[in-house]
Amino acid sequence: MVDSGSGGDIPGSDRCSTRRYDRDASSDPEGHLERALSLEEDEDFEAAIAEYSSLIATDPDYSFAYYHRGYCHVRTGDLQRAVNDFSEIIRIDPDDSTARFDRAATFYDMEEYIEALDDLEKVLEANPEDAIAHYLRGNVFAITGDLDRAVRCFEAALIFDPDYEAARANRITAYRECKTWWIFDRRGCYLGNISNHDRHGHTAQITKDPSMGNPDYDEMISVYGNMGKERIDNRNSVIFTEVDLEAAVDAAARWDLLLSEYQEGPEPELVDWFDSLKSRG
């Protein structure tokens, strides 16, 4: 299960249980709403759907009824009808980020990842500090193979919620999915890499070529040397074997370095986006 309280299993596309059903009820002269809410609480979702449908027949713009009927459709597994109900709320109020997030979560369950990303981007436009939206966006990127963006999204979630353990676990899972992560400073200079080798586990390679201008060379050698089991000196680099991946990632973050799945470094606009979020956190 990939949700706001678990992590580490992002390669699959299990159901997303993170949703935001938190609407205020309005008047209910016929008693349909009171019965619907009671039935929903008792998990009699089909009967609750019938009551919410009666309310919608009376008032086609009744967002609260669409919202809860959509939730009931999710619980019964009728995801397309859930999407339809969340879409009706967005029709009524295009700025409704709560309905848009829950439609994104439903698209995620349906493996409609392009649609999920479209909604999540609009949610984050309204609230760039929404840690759960960053997390779910990271899951989509990880599933679709864009690990660079997945990692940045999980890191963004941790900026705004440092205790978000699911984001922390999925960040490391994303790092493990890639054979090599290239280390760059903010100028785009290559400083080394963290790789997963069959013989040596995760290794940290630090360049010692002075022309690369690595200002943190001595400190990186010291820190990664303390993590590694064995030191291997090459002509232009030092390699440390059997390094703990999470500790290696955290060490790079302390120097404000970037790890990228691409040898040429992360896309500049992705770096700019991530830096703008860090300035908020």
Average pLDDT per run of 10 along the chain, which is 281 residues long?
Answer: 44 52 54 86 93 91 94 95 96 94 96 97 96 97 96 96 96 94 89 87 84 72 91 91 94 91 93 92 76
Give the Cα separation of 219 and 225 in Å (integer).
10
* Cβ atoms within 10 Å of 155's Cβ, excluding its own: 22
Q: What is the spatial distance between Cα 278 and Cα 22, in angstroms, rounded to a whole number?
A: 29
For residue 274, give the amino acid letter. Answer: F
- Other C-beta atoms closer than 10 Å to the C-beta of 246 total 15
Helix (H) or strand (E) holding 150: helix 147-160
Give the pLDDT of residue 217: 81
Quick one: pLDDT at residue 214?
A: 61
pLDDT of residue 216: 73
Global pTM reads 0.85
Output the pLDDT for position 3.
43
DSSP conformation class of 87 = H
Considering only the C-alpha atoms of the chain, give the largest distance between any 2 of them, rounded to a whole number of Å: 82
Stated as kind and residue range, the H or E segment containing 180 is strand 180-184
